[in-house]
Chains A and B, each alone.
Chain A
Amino acid sequence: MTALLEVEDLKVAYGKIQAVKGISFSVDAGEVVTLIGTNGAGKTTTLRTLSGLLKPVGGQIKFNGKSLKKVPAHKIVSLGLAHSPEGRHIFPRMTIEDNLRLGAFLRSDKQGIEQDIRRAYDLFPILGERRKQAAGTLSGGEQQMLAMGRALMSRPQLLMLDEPSMGLSPIMMQKIMATIAELKSQGTTILLVEQNAQAALSLADHGHVMEVGNIVLSGTGRDLLHDESVRKAYLGED
């Protein structure tokens, strides 16, 4: 069996600066895989490359066995890859409901879309209560919910979440993590980038630790959670 996503020796650069220096990892269907690492390690760059927003300078990306290297960004989502970007990037002047509809931009099954909008409201009731409100008026945590709900609207085979807990209160962070756990239990395949390594590793089947453009350590979530160097570097223990 081949993996859903296979990344091999991926290299990405901003001009002369190599931000990702040849990383390899894979994601199997049904798994949660996390990329952790300090600021500037290259996690966001990796996700933006998988989405086609950045073009790699080397390596391979295969999704369902198909190479993504030449696929333009706007065609990625139709292949089953959805991306909730770092910093949320909801559409501030559109209503919450229109934001969700944009997540289903390429779908034309009206009934299915309505059904999925209701599902998003079940998952995040606050979004349903404010459906006609401009998304820019939501709090940070609510915007994160919207960004996740919007990504789910494409019915992705793989959901990529970039720092969903960034800048959130501890309570809101717990809520978001609980939602990710719920999505996992429903069988959603997730590639999760997080600075909150403890939470991410507790959830993940596999994890990879990135440092300045390289993957320096890989293992199951549980192993990494108990790894001494990880505990020192990312979990604030000494």
Chain B
Amino acid sequence: MNELPQQLVNGLLLGSMYGLVAIGYTMVYGIVQLINFAHGEIFMVGAFGAITVHLYVLPDGTSMWVALPLMLIGAMIASVLVAIGAERFAYRPLRGAPRLAPLITAIGLSLALQQAVWAFYPEAKSKLAFPQIEGGPFSIGGATIQTGDIFLIVAAPISMAFLAYFVMRTRTGRGMQATAQDPDTAKLMGVNTDRIIVIAFALGAVFAAVGGVASGLKYGQIDFKMGFILGLKAFTAAVLGGIGNIYGAMIGGVVLGVVETLATAYIADIPGLDQFGSQSWAEVWAFILLILVLLFRPQGLLGERVADRA
């Protein structure tokens, strides 16, 4: 039997992981109107950056409480380097080119990154075990929380708070808002918009790296293709929340996670729909939600940014 509180908690956790990755899509889009479809790979690279630290930097048997922060740093370094490199060498030369050009570049970049990771970790074609936090699951108010999800419970709100503070309260954050709203006028104010674009890529990568570590802890394994479906889901979350809107990304992620989880858990209880209940249908529900949003509310739940651009 599926209990509703448990399903809601599961959906919330899954959704906050989507949201973390969605931030990167939405920030980059908000500033350069570019969908970085290689962002799912930046998430994947983050997970591998973390495992690299665990396998090759830390001594065997290091406690996860010590290892985890260092793995997180490794994840962020890997993701940020890849994102900055992608911006500099793949996307920047294409600024002003037709929109199809960066899209095709992104697909090529995704494949290249997958192959590069595979070359370093040949056994990562299917699964590579990700180190786990010790200790059993515990329960709060009728819902069980897996140990691996504790990271997400702590990291997602901290990430969001940091992002909100950065964008709203710091000088660079204000420069970022200005660049998103009117890049030429931002330059007149003294904002180095090229630098802002790099920062947007880097910041998106930081949150993708947090998501990558969260995913490894949650599922206990990683593989070099993990960025594909998750990237699509996170993109869906970004569109759902209103692409370009950073709060929308998190909210879109949570909505998507909850809808997907509840659909998977309860659809089979509806007479005649019992064959649609399995986990393999979860993806389908997510993308049906995306199609519905695109049809009926293309600006997303919170978004409206294209409209008042003038």
Contact = CB atoms under 8 A, between A and B. Distances in A.
Given A92-B308, A93-B308, A74 B185 contact: no
> B-side binding surface: helix, strand, loop or mixed?
helix
A106 B182 CA distance: 18
Contacts, number: 69
Interface string B172-200: 00110110011011111111110000000
Interface stretch (A3-11, A77-85, A118-126, A207-215): A77-85
Given A53-B184, A89-B182, A136-B308, A94 B177 contact: yes
Contacts of B192: 72, 74
A14 interface: no
A102 interface: yes
Contacts of B187: 51-53, 72-74
A73 B175 CA distance: 14
Contacts of A98: 174, 177
A220 B296 CA distance: 60
B190 A92 contact: no
A198 B184 CA distance: 30
Given A98-B174, A105-B174, A85 B181 contact: no
Nearest to A160: B188
Contact of A53 (B177, B188, B305): B188
A75 interface: yes
B181 A102 contact: no
Interface core residue of A75, A91, A94 (most chain B CB under 10 Å): A91
A82 B190 CA distance: 10
Interface string A51-92: 111000000000000000000111111100011010001011
Interface residues of B, number: 19
B190 A75 contact: yes
Contacts of B177: 91, 93-94, 98
A101 interface: yes
B45 to A, nearest CB: 31
Interface size class of A (residues with CB under 8 A): 20 to 34
A181 B170 CA distance: 35
B2 to A, nearest CB: 42
Most chain A CB within 10 A, of B175, B185, B189, B308, is at B189
Contacts of A77: 188-190
A103 interface: yes
A111 to B, nearest CB: 16
Interface of B: 171, 174-175, 177-178, 181-182, 184-193, 305, 308
Interface of A: 51-53, 72-78, 82-83, 85, 89, 91-94, 98, 101-103, 105-106, 136, 150, 154
18 contacts: A53-B187, A73-B184, A74-B187, A74-B191, A77-B190, A78-B190, A85-B188, A89-B182, A89-B184, A91-B178, A94-B174, A102-B174, A102-B175, A102-B178, A102-B189, A105-B171, A105-B178, A154-B190
Given A73-B187, A82-B188, A154-B190, 11 more contacts: A53-B188, A74-B186, A74-B192, A76-B188, A78-B190, A92-B308, A102-B178, A102-B186, A103-B189, A105-B191, A154-B189
User: 6 nearest interchain CB pairs?
Assistant: A73-B187, A106-B190, A89-B185, A77-B190, A105-B189, A105-B190
